[in-house]
Each structure stands twice: as structure tokens, then as C-alpha cells.
Structure 1
Amino acid sequence: MTMAENGTDTAAPQEGEQQQIQMQILAQYIRDMSFENIVAQKGLHGGEVTPEIQVQIGLDARKRPVENQYEVILKFNIESKNKDSEDKMFLMEIEYGGIFHVAGVPEDQLHPFLLIECPRHLFPYVRRIVADATHDGGFPQLNLEPVDFVQLYRQQAAAQQQAAAQSAQA
């Protein structure tokens, strides 16, 4: 390994060395979002409310036409109900996307990388948007719990395998 005068490494990777993984967020955006305040629409009046929040998360990733670029989408469906009466209080749906430059990831590890590592970088922004939207919608700020994207990826992979097995039997 040699160092140039400016201190950077000028040697090429030796055979057998792994190429360094590169990931860069090129863009982030809200692809779709809706917030429905059912309490206000129906003219319901408060009283004692015990909210129950259900959050469903979906992930999607696609190759873009440009080399090493991928679009990753996080989909959140959030529903709040009054635990006692089962009355819905609000519904929120958000699809948040990111365009990533990803290089150096082996082909067999690219899919999990896109659906685990990329969402980890997008999640704090989605969390903030959800918190602001619920607060601006007249409810206490909803701070989403951290998401274990490894576990979520495993659950989605198992569900896809199960669906494929069922369709093969049919």
C-alpha cells in the first residue's frame, strides 16, 4: 500500500480483498401522504380516550435506469382507535422514498441491503413527518418506536416464501 503526498491511498485493492461498500443518499421525498382526522370529521367530542395505535410497515426497492442507483420506499399505515369504544380517531398513510447510490455490495446481499440499511437511514425523517402531522392534525405528537428492519425483512421474506409454497401447491 502506498500513500500519495496528500495522504490518500493510491494502491488498488489486492485480489481477494473485498471492495468497500459505498452508499449515498441522492434524494429523499414524500411520494404520497394522507392524514384523516376522523374525530373532527364526525364531530365527535372527547371525554376520556384510551388511544390504541396500529402501525403497518411495508418496504419496496427497485433498480433505477442509472447504474448503481436504487429507489427505496417505506410505506406506513397508521391507525388510531379509542381502545374502549373501537371508534377510529385518525388514519395516516405515508410513502416515503429515497434514491440511493449503492456500490460494492455483492449481488446476493443487495436485496437485504436495500431493504435493511437504506430504510434505517430514511426512518428518522419519516418519524419526524409522522410526529409533525399528528400534532398538526390536533392529536398528541406520535413518535414512532424504532423499527427493527432486519426482523421486518425476515418477516416479509418468510411471508413471500409461504405465499410461493401455497401457490405451488394450488
Structure 2
Amino acid sequence: MADEDQTTPETSNGAGAPATPQQMPQTQVLGQFIRDLSFENIAVQKGKTLDGQPEINVQVGLEAKKRSTEGQYEVAVKLNVTAKSKGSDDTVFAMELDYAGVFAISNVPENQMHPYLMIECPRLLFPFLRRIVSDVSRDGGFPPLNLENIDFVTLYRNELTRRAQAEAATATVS
């Protein structure tokens, strides 16, 4: 039997030098916390009962900032949930939740850090946030509110478009 070469060939970058393998982004969740939580059972306060399924409106905001420790970031998802009776403008309940996570992130190029923070980090926080919303709405006397998945990519793109339009409007006014 002949000896077979078990080594893998080196990849080159086209200039004859071996290419360095690109390292995958590394994300570690260092902690998660509720920064602020408010739940108002408005129907009970006004002595009303809920008839049927309420109309739910969910607004999502995102915030990210660099922490003083190198490679660490804090990302917050801010939810504003209102439930109104169908056919009327009566608010049944209102919830505000500001849920944040602290992340250690490495191997992400600086020009890709902002989308990474605004898409990937909220995606990691979302299952925990969903559970809190479900538990709080149930504990508030309503059926548990199970949030639909949030498309953070579309949310990010919409925010970039909104900012570009606002800048264009400001530039034309000046």
C-alpha cells in the first residue's frame, strides 16, 4: 500500500501568500436584565370587562451602546404593548418593557458592528423577552400574550430608511 498524503493544501490569497482563515464572530451573553417594566390593567381600574379578543399593538425600539470594558456592549429592546377592545377605542391594558443584555463580542469587523448589535443581539434576547410578556400579561389577569417573532433585519432596514429620509428632508429644508 502506498502512503497517502493526509495534509490539506494551503489556501492562498492570490498573491502567493497563505490566507489567514477568517474567524467566525463570537458572542457571549454576559447578563440579561429588566431595566424597566410597567403593566397597567386599565379595564379593571375602570370597572370594565373584556369582551372577546382585544386588538394588540406592539411597538419595538432598539438601543445599543458600547460599555467601558473592551469588546462589551449593552443592547436593549424596548417594547410598548397596548391592547384595545375591538370596535372601540378603550384600552384594556398597556405594558412597557425595557429589556437589556450585556454582550461580549469579538471577531466582528467595525463596519459590521452596528447591524450585528441591532439584529443578532436582540435575536438572542427575544425568547426571554417573549416569556416575560407572556407571564406579565397572564399575571395581570389576561390570557398569556405570545408575541410573534420579530424580524429584526426588516426592523433595522426600516430604521435606516427612516433615518435617510429624515436626513434628506432636513437637507432640502436647509
Q: TM-score, normalised by structure 2?
A: 0.86
Residue of structure 1 in register with 2:102 after alignment: 99
What is the rounded CA distance, in whole Å, between the counterparts of 1:15 and 1:105 in structure 2? 18
Aligned residues: CA RMSD: 1.4
Residue of structure 1 in register with 2:4 after alignment: none
- 2:116 is aligned, of 100, 113, 116, to 113
Residues 9-45 of structure 1, C-alpha deviation per residue, up to 9 Å, x if partnerless? xxxxx64432331100001000001000000111113
Q: Given residue 32 of structure 2, which amino acid in structure 1 is its aligned partner? A: Q
- 1:31 is aligned, of 32, 35, 40, to 35
User: Deviation at 1:83?
Assistant: 1.2
Matched, 1:18 2:22: yes
CA contact (8 A) 1:50 1:84 kept: no
Off by >4 Å, runs of 4+ in structure 1:
none
Residue of structure 2 in register with 1:134 after alignment: 137
Residues 60-83 of structure 1, C-alpha deviation per residue, up to 9 Å, x if partnerless? 110111100000000000000001
Q: Given residue 160 of structure 1, which amino acid in structure 2 is its aligned partner? A: R
**Residue correspondence of structure 1 range 1-170 to structure 2 within 5 A:** 15-46=19-50, 48-170=51-173
What is the rounded CA distance, in whole Å, between the counterparts of 2:65 and 2:20 in structure 1? 29
Task: Give the greater-gyration-radius structure (CA).
Answer: 2
What is the rounded CA distance, in whole Å, between the counterparts of 1:157 and 1:167 in structure 2? 15
Q: Secondary structure at the match of 2:143?
A: coil
Q: TM-score, normalised by structure 1?
A: 0.88
CA contact (8 A) 1:72 1:98 kept: yes
What is the rounded CA distance, in whole Å, between the counterparts of 2:92 and 2:115 in structure 1? 35
CA contact (8 A) 1:81 1:90 kept: yes
**Which runs of 5 or more residues in structure 1 are unaligned?**
3-13
**Which runs of 5 or more residues in structure 2 are unaligned?**
1-6, 8-17
Q: Given residue 57 of structure 2, which amino acid in structure 1 is its aligned partner? A: Q
Residues 78-124 of structure 1, C-alpha deviation per residue, up to 9 Å, x if partnerless? 00000112211000000000000001001111100001000011000
